[in-house]
Structure 1
């Protein structure tokens, strides 16, 4: 299993760690795992590893790193893992099931589809399973361009998964259960109006009208002070509904 959600880790079927110690070896592995089944050109890897100032020995050093990486991964060959040279680059073959990022993305997609189809209970289960895979941002110890891009993309997907899970729980009527999670979401992402909308809904639905109105004021002040904008029309309508005591569900 290649674990990239959090610090890089590679383990075999028995759970034994496959040691990939050198920082540049780890970076090469991360890039190849993030581009499975694709030939990653030697020039691209050199650019990733040394950025704008590669040494004259960069190609030879890269070949040494890949040779050592191939040796380290050799016990995983029985699982369909293969690091090969192809043309002027390298290609890593690895089954989807052996990469935590792919499993995470698949579970989020399945959960999102289930929610769209009205299967809130199944959606909540799938999304909780996806979130349980998250150990942290994608390999934070590796600082190369491709990894940084994937880290941003997966951070956004993780946030979306949290919101979708909350939405599924709300549809199941678990309003009290998700309020603490929504409070954490708006604290960490104060400009995320979708999270604020669900927090207002959950509070109002549980009869906590004063808290819902206070949350709206807090959100409006943040948006106004930090971005110079007003809440979206949907949120303003939601605010008016709460003022009038209309606690109709905001998600059908």
Structure 2
């Protein structure tokens, strides 16, 4: 669910267009393998003002999602019906947000063991999953909270990568990358300060981008 909300099956991709389906699928993904009560899905879709037919519309929404999955060629029931709710079966699919978080965690473990080359490799793999924004267009509180958590994980991963590259002496690569970031985001202190720290460690003093 990093980037547009949708499902990929082999070479085929289904982007969920309906807001109801996006909100329901995003909520199920955030709580994958847990039973999400119908009332929770109703709140995710309509907030505090659901229509009288909300429960029936949720059933129809899940049916539409299942039909879309079937059209993609997915024969396994990914969305299971449970007592008064639904559950996304995480054992039957790969969730990009979870893969991102898992690989960042693995990178941190490698770094803790001083295996920085492996940590950098794992971070690079994690970043391949990242697309922004996470869960776009879904306003559910639980989904937005998870999106914010993912963005914090991303920032921590980028800062950790910078630190590891500096420890390995990859200063020039960092200077090039951070210079580009600072030029693209002149109003943002973080890339500029990281660039200055890298330049100090590298023992160089080229011109740094100025904020306008």
TM-score, with normalisation over the residues of structure 2? 0.86
Deviations 1:33-67 (A, max 9, x none): 11111011111111111111111111111111111
Aligned match of 1:7: 4
Deviation at 1:189, TM superposition (A): 4.5
C-alpha separation in 1, matches of 2:114 and 2:54: 54
Partner of 2:65: 69
- Measured against aligned partners, the alpha-carbon deviations of 1:185-234 in whole angstroms (never above 9, x if no partner) come to 785652x59x83x43432112222576xx89xx89xxxxxxxxxxxxxxx
| Secondary structure at the counterpart of residue 12 of structure 2 | coil
* Structure 2 residue aligned with 1:162: 158
Distance 1:171 1:86, change over 3 A: same
2:45 is matched with which residue?
49
> Could you give the per-residue CA deviations for residues 72-98 of structure 1, whole angstroms, max 9, x where no partner exists?
2243244xx521221111111023861
Q: CA RMSD in A?
A: 2.5
**Change beyond 3 A, Cα 1:104–1:188:** farther
How far 1:173 moved relative to its partner? 0.5
Q: How does 1:45-194 map to 2 (within 5 A)?
A: 45-74=41-70, 75-78=73-76, 81-95=77-91, 98-183=94-179, 184=181, 187=186, 189-190=188-189, 192=190
Does residue 22 of the first structure (1) align with residue 14 of the second (2)?
no
Report which structure shows greater RCO (CA 8 Å, sep ≥6). 2
Q: 2:187 & 2:98 partners in 1: Cα distance?
A: 25
SS at match of 1:143: coil
For 1:97 and 1:124, the matched residues in 2 are separated by 26
Q: Mind listing any 5+ residue stretches in structure 2 that lack a counterpart?
A: none
- 1:26 CA displacement: 1.5
**TM-score normalized by the length of structure 1:** 0.73
Displacement of 1:166 in angstroms is 1.4
Residue 169 of structure 1, CA deviation: 1.2
